[in-house]
Amino acid sequence: MESVTKNSYECIVIGAGPAGSTAAYYLAKFGYKVAVIEKSESAHQKVCGEFLSFEAMSYLKEIGVTLSEDSPVVKYFQLHSPHSKASFTFPFAGRGVSRFKLDEDLLNNASDNGAHVIRGVCMRGYLKESDGSFKIETNKGYFYARHLFMAIGKHDHSKEHKRVGKDNLYIGFKTHIKLNALDRVYKETTVLFTFPGGYGGICPVENDVMNFCFVIEKAVYKNLHSDFNELITFLRQSNSQLDSILKEASFIEPVCALGYIPYGYLSTAQAQEDVYFLGDQRMVIPSFTGDGMAIALSTAKDCAYEFNRRQKGLKVHNQLLQKILKQQMHWALLGHAILKSPWALEVCALIPGIKSFLIETIFNKTRISKVESGWYAL
């Protein structure tokens, strides 16, 4: 059995996704003894649209993570509703990269900068000791930390911290596909498609494959006998433009699924009872915005800086990011409501220019502004 001393850290981050690894990087750079606990033994796929916005890339650059040349540049956006189509050119190009690759790059970057990475360890629960420190129960015994950081994505870590969003009716699916004849057409384009009961996206990632990811109302999926093949048939029958893409597609890997997505959840505080929350533990934005990873990276940085200032006895100024997140969520939920309403999309299509105007407006309003120096440098 490992000793308490061996398993003790000043800071422990639970979860090694983009938020967890980024927080660990900053905490290590600030000089804290930090460990990242990750339940998976090795890299794996996750339910995610795998689109990196311009804001996300600026955060990656700041921490020294460079995307490889085979991560495609994404310049264009298309919306394919059942009866209409709209296009949009991004003001700043994004990139497509699989979570399999991105998560490993970020975790390795945290490790290279001093964070201790512990894989194959799953948290079962934690208790706050009388001295204020945390005792964390895992499948590999107990770990101890003075400070705890939750970065476990869309999963709830306890009944006491059950996140409830504005819309909890969706489940998510993700896989990768290979386009046999249309790859050049969509090489620099991400597609948002809608169908009765949900919406999804197609985005190029590395190795000349495409991310294929969507969310669907649980009741609709249940009516399809909870069968993935029936589901794909339903999607193709519901959206002819999506059907034309999938006709040329080969599914090249198993499907990932996520059973509970608390869309619209926004925590009112960065930390609660000395536990810090970041990424999807801080905010779960509707997936269509393509800014989920930027939110993960920005909240991780914000969280690490806030913690560091508290330790130094300095005043904390975190209202700016909370205000940005609240505004971003407001517009994201508006777009979410439009996308899941077939009649609203088609009404917009009948009014010249309105669909393009809405796309551009909601895109701009759902970006997380990169919080520059400001109080970070104080």
Q: What is the CATH number of the domain that holds 143?
A: 3.50.50.60
Out of 38-42, 45-49, 265-269, pick the least confident: 265-269
What mean pLDDT is reported for the chain?
Answer: 90
pLDDT at 62 > cutoff 70: yes
**Pairing verdict, β 123-128 and 134-138:** antiparallel
| Residue 218 maps to a domain | no
User: Domain for residue 204, yes or no?
Assistant: no
Separation CA 216–CA 231 (nearest Å): 9
d(CA 330, CA 336): 10
pLDDT at 283: 93
pLDDT of residue 374 exceeding 50, the answer is no
Position 323 scores a pLDDT of 86
pLDDT reading at 225 higher than 80: yes
| 254 within domain boundaries | no
Any domain includes 51: yes
Higher-confidence residue of 134 and 316: namely 134
Domain that holds residue 100: 8-164+262-371
Question: Is 200 contained in some domain?
Answer: no
Q: Is residue 21 one of the residues assigned to a domain? A: yes
Share of the chain above pLDDT 70, in %: 94
Least confidently predicted of 103-112, 228-237, 262-271:
262-271
Classify residue 142: in a domain, yes or no: yes
Average pLDDT over residues 330-344: 88
Specify the number of domains making up the chain. Answer: 1
Whether residue 53 contacts residue 61, with contact meaning beta carbons closer than 8 Å, is answered with no
Q: What angle do CA 300, 301, 306 make, to 5 degrees?
A: 100
Neighbours of 106 (CB within 10 A): 26
User: What pLDDT sits at residue 3?
Assistant: 44
Alpha carbons 21 and 38: distance in angstroms, whole number = 10
Whether the CB-CB separation of 27 and 4 falls below 8 Å is answered with: no
pLDDT tens digits, one per residue of 250-268: 999 999 999 999 999 998 8
Residue 339 inside a domain? The answer is yes
| Residue 370 binned pLDDT confidence (cut-offs 50, 70, 90) | low
Query: Which pTM value belongs to this model?
Result: 0.92
